[in-house]
Structure 1
Amino acid sequence: MMRKLNVHYFQHIAGEGFGSCYDYLKSLGANITATEFFALPTDFALEIEALPTVENVDLLIIMGGTMSVNDEANFPWLKIEKRWLRRYLAQGKPAIGLCLGGQLIANTLGAKVSRNPEQELGWVKVYKSEAVPEHCFKFPDEIKVMQWHSETFEIPKGAIRLAENQVCANQMYQIGKNVLGFQFHPEIIPRVLEAFIEDEEQEQVFNGPYVQSFATLRKSKAEDFKPANQLLNSAIDYVLGA
């Protein structure tokens, strides 16, 4: 009898949850666990032993967050998260990074994460990059996705850029056949979008020509979410070798 697929996710902000892929992973019979970094006091001395044993995780999904990967002074657990992630990736295990998660993977592997020239927030088209090798993850020619970021990653050494747009050059990358990093939020569902909006209404950190109004976002229809949700399901299949 095959053992269950053990999926672990790193959550950095309250309310985000696992998004659209929770139901998909449950349909695969996955056992799902989480590390909730947002619940740790800022002065909490997290030990790497408190995180799951690398060997017991079959798929890692790293969620987004409002902090920067460079802000280890205010979020000291970032150092431990990166150190654990380095061990995990060194074993060639499947991983998916979403927004901050994609930045964390890139940064852990030595790539720079810095402020993007423009902030992106809202439904935006992203396009498949040119000359992507045939063996790579099949990204559509174009897709409308939810953006919510101020910073962005450089493509890690040895990785392949899969997607881009005119506002942010690096929208998705892959490493080998087991790691996919997204700059956008393919996991977004209506409940999570509303949580994002409520948080931004309080913080008010986004502005500029590529930031959509909350009134517009609150008119999002159910079908707006489906293409990116399905893209994430395909990404999960890809890194698992399904």
Structure 2
Amino acid sequence: MKSHLKVHYFQHIAGEGFGSCYEFLKAHQAQITATEFFALPVDLPLEIEALPQIEDVDLLIIMGGTMSVNDEVNYPWLKIEKRWLRRYLALGKPAIGLCLGGQLIANALGAAVSKNSMQELGWTTVRKVKHVPQDCFELPEYFNVMQWHSETFEIPKGAIHLAENDVCRNQMYQIGKNVLGFQFHPEITPETLSLFLENDEELAHFSGAFVQTESELKHSSKAHFLQGNQLLNQAIEYVLQKTA
């Protein structure tokens, strides 16, 4: 990883923050900046020029959010974000999408995002897809991660499907060697989980066999978070390997 890496992240909801990768990137002397879409005035149209200059971003990390990538009527900045993403990705630059972020990358590249048959909220097991090419991002055969989603992405054209489970088939993909899209939340920490759980209105929208209770989530052991956090650190190093 090169020194003084310029990392930019797109944040869609207040309080979500940067999760576990903040400490990892700061330890590598990264310069971290953000676009806070949730803070934009609703009555002021966003111009693409208000987003960072693409050449000023060495790594883009796109965070999650409670909105749908398809809800451009209520969140008109989604159109601009996707347009900027297409320009950024066309240059082959490193990007990581987390949950909504993974859906945004897929959708910006023409893949559909739609309701999953079941909602996922809580700790679940995800498995590596069989017969992934050897030079792809390396995943454990099985790993335990935090889920928090109602929708799911289709795998973008030209991407490689990396991970799945029985509830939601498309859990992770990669494009080239520089883009990784996650459906789950590898960045989650005890602090960010607490912030998520403060949103009672959001929790009320989740139900079903694969939704854990608020009480269960509040009693998550610290060991639960480590595997996803380590996976994200490895993902960052992987997409940056060309810029090292």
Aligned ranges 1:74-85 → 2 under 5 Å: 74-85=74-85
Identify the residue that residue 10 of structure 1 maps to in structure 2.
10
Query: How far apart, in 1, do the equivalents of 2:3 and 2:190 lie?
Result: 33
- Please list every run of at least 4 consecutive aligned residues from structure 1 whose deviation after the TM superposition is greater than 4 angstroms: none
Give the letter for the 2:77 counterpart: W
Query: How far apart, in 1, do the equivalents of 2:115 and 2:150 lie?
Result: 6
Query: How far apart, in 1, do the equivalents of 2:44 and 2:122 lie?
Result: 34
Give the letter for the 2:105 counterpart: I
Deviation at 1:198, TM superposition (A): 1.3
Give the letter for the 1:124 counterpart: T
Identify the residue that residue 119 of structure 2 maps to in structure 1.
119
Query: How far apart, in 1, do the equivalents of 2:190 and 2:126 lie?
Result: 20
Task: Report the number of matched residues.
Answer: 240
RMSD: 0.9
> Where in structure 1 are there 5+ consecutive unaligned residues?
none
Q: TM-score, normalised by structure 1?
A: 0.98
For 1:147-188, what per-residue CA distance to the aligned partner results, in whole angstroms no more than 9, with x for missing partners?
000000000000001000000000000000000000000000
Deviation at 1:95, TM superposition (A): 0.1
Deviation at 1:3, TM superposition (A): 6.0
Asked if 1:236 corresponds to 2:236, the answer is: yes
Check the 8 A contact 1:43/1:76 in 2, yes or no: no
Asked if 1:192 corresponds to 2:192, the answer is: yes
Q: TM-score, normalised by structure 2?
A: 0.97
For 1:184-205, what per-residue CA distance to the aligned partner results, in whole angstroms no more than 9, with x for missing partners?
0000001110111111x23311
Aligned ranges 1:114-193 → 2 under 5 Å: 114-193=114-193
For 1:83-112, what per-residue CA distance to the aligned partner results, in whole angstroms no more than 9, with x for missing partners?
100000000000000000000000000000
Identify the residue that residue 219 of structure 2 maps to in structure 1.
219
Identify the residue that residue 40 of structure 2 maps to in structure 1.
40
> Where in structure 2 are there 5+ consecutive unaligned residues?
none
Give the letter for the 2:132 counterpart: V
